[in-house]
A and B are shown apart, each in its own frame.
Chain A
Amino acid sequence: MARKNKIRERYRWHENVQGYLFAAPWLLGFALFLVGPMLFSMTLCVVKWNGITPISPDNIDFVGLAHFKKIFTEDNYFWTSLYNTAFYSLFSVPLGICTSLFLATLLNAKIRGISIYRTIFYLPKVIAGVATIMMWFWIFNPEFGGFNVVLRKIGIVALGDGLLEHIPALGAFFERNQITWPPAWLADEFWAKPALIIMSLWGAGGGMLIYLAGLQNIPAHLYEVAELDGAGRIRQFFVITVPMLTPTIFFNLIMSIIGSFQVFAQSFLMTDGGPNNATLFYVLYLFRKAFQQFEMGYASALAWILFAIIMALTMVVLKSSKLWVYYEGEKR
């Protein structure tokens, strides 16, 4: 009996070693590129250092929680950037999910040539990057860019002019806050964030495919039963489709929130945080503090605060999921 145990033990040991060996790349990466840096980052939060000078007591000052204190009490840019990011997230995430869902529903139809449409909607997500940012920069040009040209052509600008004239309160509001009409988009404090939100909707194709896959997994008999009960298409959508998709929506919601809070390239390349800090997003501010002003400790503190905020939001969504996410097979 003992010999059998020993063999088994040796086999176990062998398996463990092999397992760790195979997983070694990730485990090493986890230690070197994740845990180590995270600990390092935590120590950075409590010191003042520019990151460039060599690591020595002369160049690094221990400041305790001074960074955090400054961030929360004195730093206006922190609050501005947080507001801007939250604004962006608050609008782009729900709108994005709705758009993706809507597109997916449309694409679920059995129509000839549906794959062409699918390609068109998904393509923007594929080619995203600096090139598309430049593209949108041109499109949002107030005078010559495609967006305003189309708005003028289809009369929305004229409509807006009319509204501004005939509704004095609206006109006064625009006047007082120096809001432009037609919108000067990225050159106007008021319109800059909406412009970026619109830009993010163009990339709704990514989520669309996920929902499409989810839609195709919904058993057809559910719809058949609903029809027999006399439910119309729209009611079917809200009573069957959406609940069945809630797990997918849930996952997407979390990933979207995390992603939207990291918005950076658009504001870096197009507006550099302007006009008047209207597009100063959190990560842009962090980037500036770290790589332009070389305040590594302060920037690390900002990074951890971002992490905390994202975690908090994720927790909220997670906790709330019990209320609205419906997993098949659960009793309701």
Chain B
Amino acid sequence: MNVSGTKIGLTVLVVLCLAMSVVHRAIVQPPECDTIEIRLSFWGSYEEWSMWKEIVDGFEAENPDITVTIMYTPGNYDDKIRLLLAADAAPDVMLLQDEPFPRYASYGKLADVTDWAYASRTAQEWDALFWPTAAQSFRYKGRVYGVPIWGGNVLVYYNRKMFREMGVEPPSDDWTFDEFVAKGKELTRDTDGDGRFDTFGFALPGWWVYFMPWTYGFGARYLNDDFTDWAFTDDKALEATRFYQDLRFKDRISPTMHDLPNTDESVMFMTGRIGMSVSGPWNSPPLKTAGIDFDVVHVPTGPVGKRFTRVTWDAVCIFDKSPHKEEAWRFVEYCIGYEAQAVVGRYIRSVPALRAASDAFMDPDNGWNEEKFIEAMDYSTLQPITINWEKMSDVIAAEYELLLLNKQSPEDTIRNMAEGMRRDEVFPITNGS
């Protein structure tokens, strides 16, 4: 009897299904059942996932009794983690940023790891393991709740090819704010003779935190010394704010919406339309992929005579109600060990928190001076992080936005920020952190 086409087709389909499910099982690799499973959650791109995978593989090789399950959340990490914490279903180990850290710690769901951290070291030794601001960022009320694993500060990136083609000298490391503006002006030109500028000197950062090198360089501070009250109200603050606005509207080294309609500044930097930008080490991999000839230089020095830049850290924290806190701590210890930190360094997306692993970050043959990020740790200062970071950031961002659209004067900006802090009950903070 002849077999019909349909039946052949269906049989083929069923066989394919079964075959593919076997292969799929092999790709996905469910965990073995007789080990302790700890869950690790983080966000980020595929490269960060690869980095974690390497670290996890290294850890599992040394600790065969523990399996680490990766919970990768590309979007809305904050919402998800907050929910899981509230539901007491949080992963054992969580990657958290420094900016929302005080808020997370205040929920009371993070494990206090001070005793483990200081088990074989003194408090000073613990701090000294890492870069100056790192350990500090993850203490809450004097106790250690997070262990820093990587971070980065920001420097000025410049497009070497664009500088060369326009005949402009690359900036030197000890340049001042005035020299910075002058360099920007050299790059701002009308190249096709139509009366409008086509290239610009500096990509004005949209997010205010990236402008901190200049703000601090004027001697202005956002908060007072113990981070309990708003302090961005004096003349220095005014000078810094005016400088921010002038870059775009007076000195014209930064484009407005009308100058370059496609306002994606990273694209403008990459295609040689904007000469300088400010960013951290995480900006370098995409530039490398795109084959851009770039380099970094230390931030310019302001009127106050010293250099400042912002630094941000990410840490791993343990969930207080995790059933496997000991094993989670073993993983955390591994993460700040040399092996794991060297993995971080090699990817050059972030600076490893462990000072001893800096050599892994530096690659003398890659054509640019990434070691400056390490050098800049000397003058990196903490961001104004408090338990009300998000609210504060919203107020600041709203006022700066108006400033940078030329819809508000620097004086009004400063005043409205201070008012906003009072109105939204951001400052003063009275219950200490």
Contact = CB atoms under 8 A, between A and B. Distances in A.
- Whether A and B touch directly in their complex, counting CB atoms under 8 A apart, is answered as yes
Interface of A: 50, 52-53, 59, 141-144, 180, 184, 292-294
B87 interface: yes
B182 interface: no
B429 interface: no
Contacts of A59: 87
A44 B119 CA distance: 49
A184 B261 CA distance: 8
Nearest to A53: B87
Interface stretch (B76-84, B209-217, B312-320): B76-84
B168 interface: no
B262 A142 contact: yes
Given A142-B262, A143-B262, A292-B75, 6 more contacts: A52-B84, A52-B89, A53-B87, A142-B261, A292-B76, A292-B79
Nearest to B271: A144
A205 B85 CA distance: 49
B255 to A, nearest CB: 13
Given A142-B261, A143-B261, A143-B262, A294 B79 contact: yes
Contacts of B86: 53
A292 B80 CA distance: 8
Contacts, number: 24
A143 B263 CA distance: 10
A59 B87 CA distance: 9
Given A292-B76, A293-B79, A294-B79, A52 B261 contact: no
Nearest to A141: B262
A141 B76 CA distance: 26
Contacts of B262: 141-144
Contacts of B89: 52-53
Nearest to B260: A143
Contacts of A50: 83, 87
Nearest to B88: A53
B428 to A, nearest CB: 31
A54 B169 CA distance: 63
19 contacts: A50-B83, A52-B83, A52-B87, A52-B89, A53-B86, A53-B87, A53-B89, A141-B262, A142-B262, A143-B261, A143-B262, A144-B262, A180-B261, A184-B261, A292-B75, A292-B79, A293-B79, A294-B79, A294-B83
Contacts of B79: 292-294
Contacts of B261: 142-143, 180, 184
Which of B75, B86, B261 has the most chain A CB atoms inside 10 A of its CB? Answer: B261
A10 to B, nearest CB: 32
Nearest to A291: B76
B371 to A, nearest CB: 36
